[in-house]
Amino acid sequence: MKIFVDSADVAKIRRLSEAGLIDGVTTNPSLIAKSGAEFLPTIRELAAMVEGPVSAEVAATDYDTMMREAAVLAKIAENVCIKLPLTMDGLRACASIRAEGRETNVTLCFSVTQALLAAKAGATYVSPFVGRLDDLNLEGEQLLHDIRQVYDAYPALQTQILAASLRSANHVSGAALAGADAATIPPDVIERLANHALTDKGLAAFVADWKATGQSIL
């Protein structure tokens, strides 16, 4: 499963990229607003930093303006993936942008039927929001399983499942077990994936035992 970092924090993204832990980046208007950064320069910097896709979301809600904004974003770099809302206008824009050869990420997916339409529109990625469904006491992880089942039943549908709104290690492992092609994860959650109490306990024992030998590698 590919791991994308869901952030607009350039410093955190650079640290994860240099560690070889991420395959791409996703952003959205909320993340940009939270970071306080300028949108277009941030996308340009991120696209130069990582080799994989950098999802940059349009701000418009109507087809014509989406297409104009997408044209601006596409000029930033070849690896900019145009992120679009899962609405009828967004799906229409997805089909048009894909016809131009540009990757797309259709976001705010909450149902199998929405994912089916995104695939019919030729989306490169569809982003089901696991955590937001869980907030409503619905089964976010089950949606990933259901979309996977539908996509696998129809090989002509080539859209990749990009699990989004993942807030914990359990969400990430659930996405992997559900067969998601990729997951987009906040930086702090990615770093927590490496944590385990038994790892810490074992390492502490190794350090103590090594210290007792009085030896040094250097």
Which residues are marked as active site? 83
Tell me phi and psi for residue 80, to 5 degrees: -75, 125
Beta bridge partners of 55: 26, 81
CA distances from 81 to 103, 107, 197 (A): 5, 12, 38
Beta bridge partners of 83: 57, 105
What tokens were used for 37? 């950064």
In three-state secondary structure terms, 4 is strand
83 DSSP assignment: E
Q: How many CB atoms lie within 10 A of CB 209?
A: 9
Within its chain, how far is the Cα of 36 from the centroid?
21
Closest CA to 157 of 197, 106, 121: 121
Characterize the bridge pairing of strands 54-57 and 125-128: unpaired
Tell me phi and psi for residue 41, to 5 degrees: -60, -35
Within its chain, how far is the Cα of 106 from the centroid?
11
Characterize the bridge pairing of strands 104-109 and 54-57: unpaired
